[in-house]
């Protein structure tokens, strides 16, 4: 169990397991008949996953346009609240295939909101790719089209995900043991 900032962290998904899964996801995505693909990374937590997945997509012959949207549903806490767009995308989505990339699908509120927003703007389709899926936390009927891993009901950090702005830099996904 590695120690980071004086905290023990149990590794749930190693860097090598994530890299393998990203390539598998990229192949799945490339096998779809997307004609004008716009990938939208949902910030902040997805930035590392999105970068690695987009590079893997390039490796399998897919070259999407990339955008970023900053959506918040947490505020300063760890429970989901009101969904807000803090920074919107600049590109037009009308008539395009959109792929939302997010770090984790829990309640489904953020991704449901973002998906409906893109569809209301005329997106031809709006698929969802997530690194982690916490099905037991779902409060909507939303499911991701592409899932890296099923996640246990634990608060996870690393690979872009944080607790109080810490641990985003970790190359793996893990659970902090003890008080944070």
pLDDT at 11: 96
Mean pLDDT (the chain) is 91
When computed from its CA atoms, the radius of gyration of the chain, rounded to whole angstroms, is 16
Q: Which domains does the chain have, with CATH numbers?
A: 3-71+83-176 (3.40.50.2020)
- Contact indicator for 161, 169 with CB cutoff of 8 Å: no
Judged on CB neighbours under 10 Å (0-12, 13-18, 19+), 122 is exposed
Select the more confidently predicted residue: 44 or 76.
44
Asked whether the predicted pLDDT for residue 147 surpasses 90, the reply is: yes
Select the more confidently predicted residue: 107 or 148.
148
- Contact indicator for 29, 99 with CB cutoff of 8 Å: yes
Select the more confidently predicted residue: 105 or 1.
105
- Range of 53-57, 79-83, 160-164 with top mean pLDDT: 53-57
Token couple for 134: 């916490």
Asked whether the predicted pLDDT for residue 15 surpasses 90, the reply is: yes
pLDDT confidence tier of residue 8, bands split at 50, 70 and 90: confident
pLDDT confidence tier of residue 180, bands split at 50, 70 and 90: low
- Cβ-based neighbours of 153, under 8 Å, separated by 6 or more: 134, 136, 137
The span from the CA of 57 to the CA of 133, in Å, is: 21
pLDDT at 1: 65
Look at the pTM and tell me if it is higher than 0.85.
Answer: yes
Average pLDDT over residues 154-169: 92
Which region among 43-52, 77-86, 112-121 has the lowest average model confidence (pLDDT)? 77-86
Average pLDDT over residues 138-159: 95
Average pLDDT over residues 127-132: 98
The span from the CA of 175 to the CA of 9, in Å, is: 5
């Amino acid at each position: 169990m590695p120690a980071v900032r004086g905290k023990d962290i149990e590794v749930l998904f190693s860097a090598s397991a994530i890299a393998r899964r990203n390539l598998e996801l990229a192949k799945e995505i490339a096998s779809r008949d997307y004609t004008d693909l716009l990938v939208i990374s949902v910030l902040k937590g997805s930035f590392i996953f999105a970068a690695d997945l987009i590079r893997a997509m390039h490796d399998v012959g897919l070259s999407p346009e990339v955008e970023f949207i900053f959506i918040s549903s947490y505020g300063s806490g760890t429970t989901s609240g009101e969904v807000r767009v803090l920074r919107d995308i600049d590109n037009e989505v009308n008539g395009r295939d959109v792929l939302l990339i997010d770090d984790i699908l829990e309640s489904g509120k953020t991704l449901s909101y973002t998906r409906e927003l893109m569809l209301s703007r005329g997106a031809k389709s709006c698929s969802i790719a997530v690194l982690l899926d916490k099905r037991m936390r779902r409060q909507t009927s939303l499911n991701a089209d592409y899932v890296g891993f099923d996640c246990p009901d634990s608060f996870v950090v690393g690979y872009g995900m944080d607790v109080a702005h810490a641990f985003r830099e970790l190359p793996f996904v893990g659970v902090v043991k003890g008080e944070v």
